[in-house]
Amino acid sequence: MPSPVETAVTEIASKILRKDVDLTTVNNFKELGADSLDIIQIIVRVEDRFDIELLEEDLQNIKGIKDFVAYVEKRIAEKNN
Amino acid sequence: MTNTGPAISLAGRTALITGGSRGIGKAITLKLASRGADVIINFLRRRSIAEATAEEVRAKGVKAHLIKANVAEPEEIDRMFAEIQDRFGKLDIFINNAASGVAKAALELDVRGWEWTMDINARAFLLCTQRAVKLMPRGGRVVAISSLGARLTWPAYSAVGVSKATLEALTRYLAIECAPLGITVNAVAPGAVESEALKLYASQETLSRPDWKQTPAGRMVTPEDIAYLVLFLCSEHASMIVGQVIVIDGGVSLAPINL
């Protein structure tokens, strides 16, 4: 079962990239055909969806989609604490 | 130098600064607040940074109100101005500062990169000014932040440069239409400014130049320099400056050997 964050990121990426995407089949957004503008838009929409801030200094160290989802979950948990 | 008049006061004025929480926008926000203006700070992403700027504003004894909105989206512009109308009922000063852009050569620029840059840097200026003017029945001030890149060329600056050239042309057209309403519209065109945005561009190889800091005036332009110029353009003293683009670059554009 995908987590709520995975589901949301999939939905957002599908909307931005204008195609149904399966995040489990790729390592990063670029493999889905995303360029840097797509990735910025995905980040902004994820921030809006969960009312969190994703920090540039942290995002620079994100290695792939699994990392990204884990980081979003961490930021949500930090906000709730 | 001697003091030739009273300090500029913006007491009782309400100012909107897009992208007003960081960098040049923050300097302008704090400058207008320091002269008594209540400020509305538009930001895109980092609420914590915007909150910190708002706190600095409130420490000056004036109001600060935050609005998160992406000015690339017309619906978000509508929402932002509806909120300003509801909360303040008027606007006296609009500073069009929010900017973005893709760093590519003109021959490599694609449609998405073009639209992304133009939507934020040029279209937003048009749409925001149209809405701001409706909230300025007693006159007001509009100042747009441009760039030397509107007239000069830098590698990989094509999209931003063209968008800023559009902004400058729009400044002139809006200025003529707004002047009879008691609203001045002007633009400020800085050279390279010591800021986070410059670091971002300079980190890309095509724009990393060792001589950014060389200006005939001996130093780079700072956000504070720009904020003082914007403050003047927002003052009563600037009522006859209409549709102008004022360059603030330490003389760089007159000494192209340094570019």
Query: In angstroms, rounded to a whole number, what is the distance separating the alpha carbons of residues B106 and B95?
Result: 28
Query: Is residue B3 over pLDDT 70?
Result: no
CA pseudo-torsion sign B108, B110, B115, B116: negative
Catalytic-residue membership of B201? no
Nearest chain A Cα to B46, which residue? Answer: A53
Task: Tell me, yes or no, whether B253 lies in a domain.
Answer: no
Q: What is the pLDDT of residues B146-169, one digit of tens each?
A: 999 999 998 899 999 999 999 999
Burial annotation B205-215 (CB, 10 A radius, 16+ → b, else e): eebeeeebebb
Does B197 reach chain A within 8 Å, measured CB to CB? no
How many domains is chain B partitioned into structurally?
A: 1
User: Over pLDDT 90: what percentage of chain B?
Assistant: 81
Does the pLDDT value for residue B7 go beyond 90?
no
Taking an 8 Å cut-off on Cβ atoms, the answer to whether B45 and A35 are in contact is no
Contacts of B46 in chain A (CB under 8 A): 53
Q: Looking at per-residue confidence, does B253 or B181 come out higher? A: B181
Q: What is the pLDDT of residue B205?
A: 44
The DSSP code for B7 is P
Predicted confidence (pLDDT) at residue B254 exceeds the cutoff of 80: yes
Evaluate whether residue B187 is within a structural domain.
yes
CA distance B219 to chain A (A): 29
pLDDT > 70? residue B206:
no
| Residue B254 resides in a domain | no
Ordered DSSP codes for B92-153: SEEEE-------B-GGG--HHHHHHHHIIIIIHHHHHHHHHHHT-TT-EEEEEE--GGGTS-
Task: Specify the pLDDT at position A30.
Answer: 86
Whole-number average pLDDT of chain B: 92
Could you tell me if B103 lies within 8 Å of chain A, comparing CB atoms? no
Query: Which ipTM did the prediction report?
Result: 0.77
Distance CA A46, CA A19 (A): 17
Spatial CA neighbour of B145 closest among B91, B97, B99:
B97
CA distance B151 to B169: 11
- Cβ contact (<8 Å) for B46 and A53? yes
**Minimal Cβ distance to A37: which of B44, B70, B113:** B113
The answer as to whether B3 is a domain residue is no
Cβ–Cβ gap A35/B48 under 8 Å? no
pTM to 2 decimal places: 0.90
Q: Given phi > 0 = left and psi -120 to 50 = alpha, else beta, which region is B188?
A: beta
Residue B4 pLDDT more than 90?
no
Could you tell me if residue B84 is inside a domain? yes
Q: Which residues contact B111 (CB under 8 A, 6 or more apart)?
A: none
| Predicted local confidence at residue A9, as pLDDT | 92
Radius of gyration of chain B, Cα coordinates, nearest whole angstrom: 18
Lookup: tokens for B254: 């007159």
Measured in angstroms, the CA of B102 and the nearest CA of chain A are apart by 8
Largest distance between two CA atoms of chain B: 53
pLDDT tens for B106-152 read 999 999 999 999 999 999 999 999 999 999 999 999 999 999 999 99
The catalytically annotated residue of B26, B104, B157, B201 is B157
- Residue B149 belongs to what domain range? 14-248
Q: Is residue B95 part of a domain?
A: yes
Closest by CA position to B257, among listed B215, B202, B219: B215
Q: Is residue B2 part of a domain?
A: no
- DSSP codes of every residue in B216-245: TTSS-B-HHHHHHHHHHHTSGGGTT--S-E
Q: Pick the residue with more confidence: A60 or B56?
A: B56
Return the DSSP state at B20.
T
3-state SS, residue B86: helix
Count CB neighbours of B4 within 10 A: 5
What would the pLDDT profile of A52-72 be if each residue is shown by its tens digit?
A: 999 988 998 888 888 999 999
d(CA B76, CA B70): 6
Q: What is the mean pLDDT of residues B50-78?
A: 97
Residues of chain A under the 70 pLDDT cut: none
A56's CB contacts (< 8 A; 6+ apart) are: none
Amino acid letter for position B219 = R
Please check whether residue B241 is in contact with residue B248, taking contact to mean a CB–CB distance below 8 angstroms: no
Checking if the pLDDT of B209 tops 70, the result is no
pLDDT at position B259: 47
Report the CATH number that the domain containing residue B20 is assigned in CATH: 3.40.50.720
